[in-house]
Amino acid sequence: MTTKLFGEPVRRREDARLITGRGRYLDDIGAGALAAAFVRSPHAHARIVDVDVDAALDVEGLVAIYTYEDLTGPLAEPLPVLIPHPQLTAPRTGYPLANGEVNHVGEPVVMVVATDRYVAEDAAERIAVTYEELPAVVGVDAAREARACVHEEIPDNVAARHHQETGDVEPALAVSPHTLSFTQYVERSAGMPLEGKGVHARWDADDRSLRVHTSTQASTSVRAAIAAKLQLSLDQVEVVAPDVGGGFGVKIVHPWPEELLVPMAAIALGREVKWTEDRREHFISSAHERQQRQEVSVGFDDDGRITALDVHVWHDHGAYTPYGIIVPIITATQLVGPYVIPVYRVVVESVYTNTVIVTPYRGAGRPQGCFAMERTMDRIADALGLDRAVVRERNLIQPSQFPYDHHLTFQDGRPVVYDSGDYPALLEKLKALVGWDGIDALRDDAEARGKLLGVGMALYVEGTGPGPYEGGHVQVLGSGKVLVSTGLTTQGQGHETSFAQIVSSELGVPIADVEVTTGDTRRFPYAVGTFASRAAVMSGNAIALAARGVRDKALRIAADVLEADPGDLEIADGVVQVKGTPGASIPLRTVAVLSNPLRYAFDEAAKQATQFAVQASNDQPPVTPGDAPGLEHRDYYSPIRSTFASGAHAAIVEIDPQTWEIDVVNYAVVHDCGNVVNPMIVEGQVHGGVAQGVGGALYERMAYDADGQLQNASFMDFLMPYASEVPDIVIDHQQTPSPLNPLGIKGAGEAGVIPGSAALASAIEDAVGRRITSMPISPTELYDLMRSETAERTAASGRRTGVGA
């Protein structure tokens, strides 16, 4: 079958448009719209004493100024806690505009609307806000010490204590032949989509309806939020995600204050209003992730097999908890990775700080969990003098143990039961790919060139594709065009291609005939969103089911026309035909025309279809009861629980022992996301993830000072890696299909970022012989570590003469 494109490396159909400037991003919409700009808090923690707008009033072109006092009804209430949890005992959210207090630099205080953004910023600059500063809590340790508090009524700064355990860990540790305890840190970073957030709203006063474009990962939910907060009926609100220039999690948070305030102003003013986030705003008023302090105690036997694991994490949650404790839960439950952990206890304390909120950023707590688990493996190996791969191998869940129940509860409230996988094979492939067993020769060669070489590895299991559901709609037109829509959004993942491949394969039509629309509530009103590596699993399967529904109907209609049994028909290249009987066929587009008994002959297709029309029986209605006109089908996919993808990364670094520059000379990835829709797209996702993993390990950090001022809020000082910093990546695939969904697929979006810090810390430690207990690490920090009298030397460095000494 020539149309079987599932699994083929089809080139991304959207790329030509996107890379030649024909994308339609938020700021490309509404050229004549009024522009909004915000006065944002310059203080990390302060009471607002006074807002004086007088000086702004004579700025020519000013249209409106809004403060908290102007908000009414539900808008004046705190923003929603999207995902409540019983262990989130002290949730807090901000207001669309600050109500008397600000809790981080960048929190919106005043919205200005003017004829253009220049004028709006001129006016915003003249608004004088008087603050009474309060002590700022910055960083996870300060929050934990709680000498000051972020929210007055929460003196210990603890928003949530998330706690899970699978047995009695203390006795298990006590009887373990060996134990180790250590503390380590992961620093803040952020997803940094190249397109920031942005909202455009247009109120149609005649139609009394609102159309909102927003650069979001969840248009259906933004729609519901706007309707609720602005007290509109859902049918009055349409929300469309245009081309979105990256999300990485930050755009799943909703409603952002601006997603409510811009529509509010558009309705109040009767004019189009637009806000386009600038880079500084994105740094100080969107979302970050990743900072954790991790205290790990592990028990293990002489072979390095883990007997018990006790982890206590302090998770910096920033100023508010709008997205609940999803990130802490994911750290807690995904930490265990591909390993058998006989007794496990984890406590994650989410603490408030006077910094930008923390919500999921690609990986969403997994990189930290992986860092804890994989560094534990490294420490066990070092303590016992074993190869790090061997220790991992001995702890792996075996293929015969699936489905494997960790007896933990995942972010979706469902049990952490791994559906399928083959972790030993993954590890074997990784060792071969990176040349693990030949590393000593490479080390010698590097040493001869004056370089320190090290290798590290890290494995992960990633819960992907959580529910509750996604839907898909497939419709064949009389022209032969196949319209596909799903409610979740796209922000660069190539859904136009991968979803079209699924439909092309399921329906037997040329991919060129398939048009995919995502994230438009006018086309598909029920959806959850694009996050948690769920789009291919959720919408992919829903679209496949919808396509199968269309196929069934097409075969039924064609069977009537061709006087054949539906089971004897097949569809290929857009033609339904009786298997093995050339000539006994009907184009699918004609079936589409026949599917609608109202056939005004507007076009040739309709005219031609009449020759196939089967004379309906006079005692039956034209549309059979239970049937519907049109060749279309809508279906939903709702999974029993998440699928669990897996992977293993290894990095080889070379370090200049004079300048302490760190060069990643080899980066190997083995990746298993079940059946693959498009290997080229999966590899692209892995590449992007690795780039962010390398960024988080070696370059990026949010450099807050003690006052809560972000010192590097620009692309000049926040060091997102360029292509020149991202190593060449070698990838090997493994496909362990998921038994949980029709297509057998697992998610792939986040995987690439997860093991970066763990693998690179391991490699650097291997190269220099000093314990790496905090990531990221830069050359200047490595230099400090190497000079430090107190830095711990690894046992491996002592056993290996001449290295790191």
Partner 1 sequence: MKPAPFRYADPRSVPEALEVLAAEEGAKVLAGGQSLLPLLSMRLAAPTTLVDLNRVPGLDTVEVGGDGVRVGALVRHAGLLAHQGAARVQPLLARATANVAHPAIRNRGTTVGSIAHADPAGEMTSVLALTGGSVTVASSSGTGTVGWRDLFVGPLETSLPGAAVVTSAFFPALPPRSGTTFAEVARRKGDYAVCGAGVVVTLDEDRRVAAVRASYVSVGLTPEVHDLTDAVAGSPVEKADWAAAGALARTLVEPDGDLHASADYRRLLVGVLTERTLADAAVEAAGGSE
Chain positions contacting partner 1, by CB under 8 A: 117-118, 121-122, 125, 278-280, 658-661, 699, 703, 711-712, 714, 716-717, 719, 721-722, 724-725, 778-780, 783-784
Least Å distance, CB 11 to partner 1, is 27
670 with 779: CB under 8 angstroms?
no
Least Å distance, CB 117 to partner 1, is 5
- Residues 6 or more apart whose CB falls under 8 angstroms from that of 92 comprise 78, 151, 154, 159, 319, 320, 321, 352
Cβ-based nearer residue to partner 1, 526 or 783? 783
Cβ-based nearer residue to partner 1, 25 or 699? 699
Cβ-based nearer residue to partner 1, 279 or 556? 279
Rounded Cα–Cα distance for residues 290 and 268 (Å)? 39
Cβ-based nearer residue to partner 1, 118 or 526? 118
* Strands ordered across the beta sheet of 643-655: 452-464, 643-655, 662-672, 729-733
Of the candidates 86, 118, 112, the residue with the CA atom closest to the CA atom of residue 97: 112
- DSSP, residue by residue, 30-99: -TT-EEEEEEE-SSSSEEEEEEE-GGGTTSTTEEEEE-GGG--GGGGSPPP-SS--TT--S-----SS--
Cβ-based nearer residue to partner 1, 526 or 722? 722
Angle at which helix 779-787 crosses helix 756-768, to 10 degrees, equals 40
Least Å distance, CB 39 to partner 1, is 13
Least Å distance, CB 688 to partner 1, is 17
Both structure tokens of 3: 């149309």
44 with 708: CB under 8 angstroms?
yes
75 with 260: CB under 8 angstroms?
yes
Cβ-based nearer residue to partner 1, 205 or 723? 723
Cβ-based nearer residue to partner 1, 276 or 498? 276
DSSP β-bridge partners for residue 163: 347
Cβ-based nearer residue to partner 1, 47 or 280? 280
Least Å distance, CB 28 to partner 1, is 18
- Residues 6 or more apart whose CB falls under 8 angstroms from that of 583 comprise none
Measure Cα distances from 113 to 34, 105, 230, 268, 322 in Å: 7, 21, 18, 11, 26
Rounded Cα–Cα distance for residues 336 and 409 (Å)? 12
Least Å distance, CB 384 to partner 1, is 35
Cβ-based nearer residue to partner 1, 317 or 770? 770
Cβ-based nearer residue to partner 1, 780 or 790? 780
- Residues 6 or more apart whose CB falls under 8 angstroms from that of 2 comprise 572, 573
Least Å distance, CB 721 to partner 1, is 7
Cβ-based nearer residue to partner 1, 132 or 784? 784
Query: Going by DSSP bridges, is the β-strand pair 292-300/774-775 parallel, antiparallel, or unpaired?
Result: unpaired
Of the candidates 341, 329, 428, 420, the residue with the CA atom closest to the CA atom of residue 377: 341
Query: Going by DSSP bridges, is the β-strand pair 306-316/344-351 parallel, antiparallel, or unpaired?
Result: parallel
Cβ-based nearer residue to partner 1, 448 or 716? 716
Cβ-based nearer residue to partner 1, 56 or 731? 56
Beta-carbon count within 10 A of 7 CB: 14
Least Å distance, CB 25 to partner 1, is 17
Least Å distance, CB 663 to partner 1, is 12
Of the candidates 160, 164, 162, 157, the residue with the CA atom closest to the CA atom of residue 140: 157
Both structure tokens of 440: 């000593």
Both structure tokens of 707: 């006052």
Least Å distance, CB 295 to partner 1, is 28
Q: 702: left (phi > 0), else alpha (psi -120 to 50), else beta? A: beta
Cβ-based nearer residue to partner 1, 124 or 150? 124
Least Å distance, CB 725 to partner 1, is 5
Least Å distance, CB 173 to partner 1, is 39
Cβ-based nearer residue to partner 1, 185 or 469? 185
Q: Distance of alpha carbon 644 from its chain centroid, rounded?
A: 15
Least Å distance, CB 67 to partner 1, is 22
Rounded Cα–Cα distance for residues 624 and 557 (Å)? 12
Instruction: Convert 768-792 into a string of H (helix), E (strand) and C (coil).
Output: HCECCCEECCCHHHHHHHHHCCCCC
User: Which residue type is seen at 712?
Assistant: N
Cβ-based nearer residue to partner 1, 400 or 658? 658
Least Å distance, CB 250 to partner 1, is 18
Of the candidates 193, 282, 191, the residue with the CA atom closest to the CA atom of residue 491: 193
Measure Cα distances from 783 to 656, 659, 660, 801 in Å: 11, 8, 6, 21
Least Å distance, CB 701 to partner 1, is 9
Least Å distance, CB 119 to partner 1, is 9
Cβ-based nearer residue to partner 1, 452 or 648? 452
Rounded Cα–Cα distance for residues 241 and 518 (Å)? 8
Least Å distance, CB 438 to partner 1, is 30
The number of residues in the chain equals 805
Q: Is residue 728 classed as helix, strand or coil in its secondary structure?
A: coil
Both structure tokens of 211: 């159309």
Q: 742: left (phi > 0), else alpha (psi -120 to 50), else beta? A: alpha
Both structure tokens of 454: 């090290």
Beta-carbon count within 10 A of 583 CB: 6
Cβ-based nearer residue to partner 1, 716 or 805? 716
* Strands ordered across the beta sheet of 585-587: 569-572, 575-578, 585-587
Least Å distance, CB 282 to partner 1, is 10
